[in-house]
Amino acid sequence: MKFDVISIFPDFFSSITGSGLLKRALAEGKVEIRIHDLRGFTDDRHRTVDDRPFGGGPGMVFKPEPIFRAVEAIRAAAGEDAFPVILLSPQGSLLTQRRVEELARQRQIILICGRYEGVDERVAEYLATDELSIGDYVLSGGELAAAVVMECVTRLVPGVLGNAESAEQDSFASRWANAEEPHGERGLLDCPHYTRPADFRGIKVPEVLLSGHHEAVHRWRRQRSLEKTLHRRPELIERFPLSRHDREWLEGIQRATGRAAPR
Ligand code: SAM
């Protein structure tokens, strides 16, 4: 997996590539991250990347030419152009785990980081293949958003997570995917996790987890996942393909709490 990031703040990325999962994945050659300074694709003495907005108004807008040149140079170096060119934008489609899984199947991804008022709309219309938002809030630049994309995609690149870490058990994971709606947003929130000590200041780990009874542990985890999802993210459970056992369990919760159980 190769990430090509276009930014006016290339130094920003040293903080995220210098520790943890990304550092390890880079060292092992599982991913490659190349940061391209947008100013390197300007053609004036002042290395200008932005200009005032047509029609007036506050702030500055990233000019299209340096961004087009940067993407064209990356494509030319790769010898192909059939990979995603993602413009990070609060107006883009929301980044979800399903989207992350799709991106993890790519060989190369270009990430364009905006700043100021944003990026000339022709980049979104004629250059980017996707616009992605990491949430309904506004950051001052796309660098943090690009870092989020690289971090969550990298952990799904085969071989990056060790045996001790499993992405399949995570919240939102598509182990729950339904063949009838393969692109739908599926998944439950993960169950609670505990580790030693079994008794911390009198707060005890649920007995079943110490029982060594695998089936009971599995059932407990499934029920906690359903329960957490029902209370915190009911819209996820509404779209989830519930089994008969799931439904019975949720109806039990409904009887106990007076909450509506999903169908
Ligand atoms: N005027 C723009 C708007 O209201 O849609 C906001 C521009 S924002 C201050 C500057 C840059 O930060 C954007 O071009 C984008 O690259 C990045 N950005 C801000 N919020 C983001 C988000 N939620 N997801 C992804 N990128 C974001």
Q: What is the pLDDT of residues 91-114, one digit of tens each?
A: 999 999 999 999 999 999 999 999
Please check whether residue 163 lies inside any domain of the structure. no
Q: Give, using CA atoms, the residue closest to atom 8 of ligand 1.
A: 140
Q: What's the confidence (pLDDT) of residue 175?
A: 57
Range of weakest confidence among 3-17, 40-54, 137-151, 186-200: 186-200
76 shares its domain with 102: yes
Last residue of a domain, one of 121, 155, 189: 155
Categorize the per-residue pLDDT at 166 as very low, low, confident or very high, splitting at 50, 70 and 90.
confident
Q: Assess whether pLDDT exceeds 60 at residue 2.
A: yes
Please check whether residue 166 lies inside any domain of the structure. no
114 shares its domain with 140: yes
Q: Are 11 and 41 in contact (CB under 8 A)?
A: no
119 shares its domain with 176: no
Q: Give, using CA atoms, the residue closest to atom 13 of ligand 1.
A: 114
Q: Assess whether pLDDT exceeds 70 at residue 259.
A: no
24 shares its domain with 104: yes
94 shares its domain with 195: no
119 shares its domain with 72: yes
126 shares its domain with 250: no
Q: Does ligand 1 come within 6 angstroms of the Cβ of 133?
A: yes
Percent of the chain with pLDDT over 90: 83
Instruction: Write the CATH number for 75.
Output: 3.40.1280.10
**Secondary-structure percent of the chain, ordered helix, strand, coil, rounded to 5:** 40, 15, 45
- Expressed in angstroms and rounded, the spacing between residue 118 Cα and the centre of ligand 1 is 6
Instruction: Write the CATH number for 180.
Output: 1.10.1270.20
Q: Which ligand 1 atom is at minimum distance from the Cα of 134?
A: 24
Residue 76: partners with Cβ closer than 8 Å, 6 or more residues away: none
Work out the burial of residue 77: count CB atoms within 10 Å of its CB; fewer than 13 is exposed, 13-18 middle, 19 or more buried. exposed
Percent of the chain with pLDDT over 70: 92
Which of 60, 139, 152 best tests ligand 1's pocket when mutated (most atoms within 8 Å of CB)?
A: 139
- Expressed in angstroms and rounded, the spacing between residue 145 Cα and the centre of ligand 1 is 9
What's the length of the chain? Answer: 263
- Expressed in angstroms and rounded, the spacing between residue 97 Cα and the centre of ligand 1 is 20
60 shares its domain with 141: yes
Q: Assess whether pLDDT exceeds 60 at residue 137.
A: yes
Which of 99, 115, 123, 138 best tests ligand 1's pocket when mutated (most atoms within 8 Å of CB)?
A: 138
- Dist CA 212 CA 210 (whole Å): 6
Please check whether residue 162 lies inside any domain of the structure. no
Q: Does ligand 1 come within 6 angstroms of the Cβ of 6?
A: no
Tell me the Ramachandran region of residue 204: left when phi exceeds 0, alpha when psi lies from -120 to 50, beta otherwise: beta
Q: What's the confidence (pLDDT) of residue 238?
A: 87
Q: Give, using CA atoms, the residue closest to atom 21 of ligand 1.
A: 90
Tokens for 168? 């399949």
Q: What's the confidence (pLDDT) of residue 181?
A: 42
Q: How many domains does the chain have?
A: 2
Catalytic residues: 90, 117, 155, 170
- Dist CA 6 CA 62 (whole Å): 12
Last residue of a domain, one of 130, 155, 180: 155
248 shares its domain with 132: no
Please check whether residue 60 lies inside any domain of the structure. yes
Please check whether residue 165 lies inside any domain of the structure. no
Work out the burial of residue 34: count CB atoms within 10 Å of its CB; fewer than 13 is exposed, 13-18 middle, 19 or more buried. middle
207 shares its domain with 115: no
120 shares its domain with 145: yes
- Dist CA 129 CA 122 (whole Å): 12
Q: Does ligand 1 come within 6 angstroms of the Cβ of 139?
A: yes
Q: What's the confidence (pLDDT) of residue 171?
A: 84
Enclosing domain of residue 238: 171-257
Over the chain, what is the mean pLDDT? 92
Tell me the Ramachandran region of residue 4: left when phi exceeds 0, alpha when psi lies from -120 to 50, beta otherwise: beta
Residues 116-136 have a mean pLDDT of 98
Q: Does ligand 1 come within 6 angstroms of the Cβ of 111?
A: no
Residue 167: partners with Cβ closer than 8 Å, 6 or more residues away: 155, 156, 161, 173
Please check whether residue 248 lies inside any domain of the structure. yes
Please check whether residue 242 lies inside any domain of the structure. yes
Last residue of a domain, one of 129, 155, 181: 155
251 shares its domain with 204: yes
- Expressed in angstroms and rounded, the spacing between residue 245 Cα and the centre of ligand 1 is 44
Please check whether residue 8 lies inside any domain of the structure. yes
- Expressed in angstroms and rounded, the spacing between residue 165 Cα and the centre of ligand 1 is 32
Predicted model pTM? 0.90
Q: Does ligand 1 come within 6 angstroms of the Cβ of 91?
A: yes
